[in-house]
Structure 1
Amino acid sequence: MSTTQSERLRGLLEPLVHAKDLDLEEIEVSRAGRRGLLRVIVDSEEGVELDACAELSRVISEKLDETDAMGEGEYVLEVSSPGADRPLTQHRHYVRATGRLVKLQLTPEAGGGEVVTRILAVDEDGLDTEVPGVKGRKATARRVEFAEIAKARVEIEFNRKDKKEEEA
């Protein structure tokens, strides 16, 4: 996808996404056989329900039909949420992951390696985290600056306590 097309699509779709109180995370255009594929990834503080994706898909489809943003050929439109295993790349992603277990790949300057830790708080410079204790050891606090993070991804927890249970 050319930068011009990407910018044009973002400019066209972002107001529609924001009108539904969602964040536009990603736009991806690719080929699926003879047809194009437009994938629109959206998210929000509360997550994204299937009905919201379906409604946004209708709105985006109508807007794309009014314009030539996708060109003359056939295309498939897919509107979805990012999924649990998406990388954390923006500040708001870390904020949304507060309370969650994450795997951080550290930069060589920060010593490299991986650390699995729970995000306790997020500020402008980095994360306050807690590294879970292993084999009877206590959990330890750890501060990680954003500049020290090469990659980050939420870890799936099957036995994670719900926030409502923790508050009770």
Structure 2
Amino acid sequence: MSTTQSERLRELLEPLVSSQGLDLEEIAVDSVGRKRVLRVVVDSDTGADLDQIADVSRALSAKLDETNVMGDGAYDLEVGTPGAERELTEHRHYVRAVDRLVRFQLTEGGELVARILTVDDDGVDLEVPGVKGRKATTRRLAFGDIAKARVQVEFSRKDKKDMKEEEEA
């Protein structure tokens, strides 16, 4: 039997989140002044839109109201998605980040910023941007070589359609 509040919350809420077609990514209970905040982070392979977030929020709220897992004190429930610069901690996170630019901290030290091309059970194939006019290169990273990985926000990235049109012109 689980003992921590976080484990009890996960056991209670994960089936509800899954029934909505989403993955339960994170649960956190924080104190903000005298109030507690229960933050629930959800996602899916295709992302989560506002309607899905609202639906899962209502379902979680109803389930929490019928149990005493949060205790008797007041709390706020916040349901959201991981955000643009999410940390990649699970295999599914890497799969969802294909074609995204990611900053990798390597287990042997050092850092690498590269675009994920493919993901398999053992690691990731990357495109490392060229420096000073050089062409991009490819590189393979095993999951064991990755200490941390975080998606990077790109403001001026051209999508594949724009690049293809430029090549044809």
Residue 88 of structure 1 deviates from its aligned partner by 0.6
Paired with 1:77 and 1:66, the residues of 2 have a C-alpha distance of 14
Residue 161 of structure 1 deviates from its aligned partner by 2.9
Report the equivalent of 1:141.
138
Q: Give SS of 2:148's match.
A: strand
Q: For structure 1, list consecutive stretches of 5 or more residues without a partner in the other structure.
A: none
Report the equivalent of 1:72.
72
**Residue from 140, 145, 148 that aligns with 1:151:** 148
Residue 85 of structure 1 deviates from its aligned partner by 1.0
TM-score normalised according to structure 1 size: 0.92
Report the equivalent of 1:24.
24
Report the equivalent of 1:11.
11
Report the equivalent of 2:105.
105
Report the equivalent of 1:34.
34
Report the equivalent of 1:47.
47
Paired with 1:124 and 1:103, the residues of 2 have a C-alpha distance of 20
Paired with 1:115 and 1:4, the residues of 2 have a C-alpha distance of 36
Q: Which amino acid aligns with 2:149?
A: A
Q: Give SS of 1:38's match.
A: strand
- The answer to whether structure 1 residue 124 and structure 2 residue 113 are counterparts is no
Q: For structure 2, list consecutive stretches of 5 or more residues without a partner in the other structure.
A: none
Aligned-pair RMSD on alpha carbons? 1.7
Paired with 1:164 and 1:31, the residues of 2 have a C-alpha distance of 46
Paired with 1:107 and 1:114, the residues of 2 have a C-alpha distance of 9
Paired with 1:115 and 1:10, the residues of 2 have a C-alpha distance of 34
Number of equivalent positions: 164
Q: Deviations over 1:97-152 (max 9, x none)?
A: 001111100012xxx21111111100111011110112110111100011011110
Instruction: Tell me the percent identity.
Output: 65
Residue 167 of structure 1 deviates from its aligned partner by 7.8
Q: Deviations over 1:19-53 (max 9, x none)?
A: 11000000001112222110000001111112211
TM-score normalised according to structure 2 size: 0.91
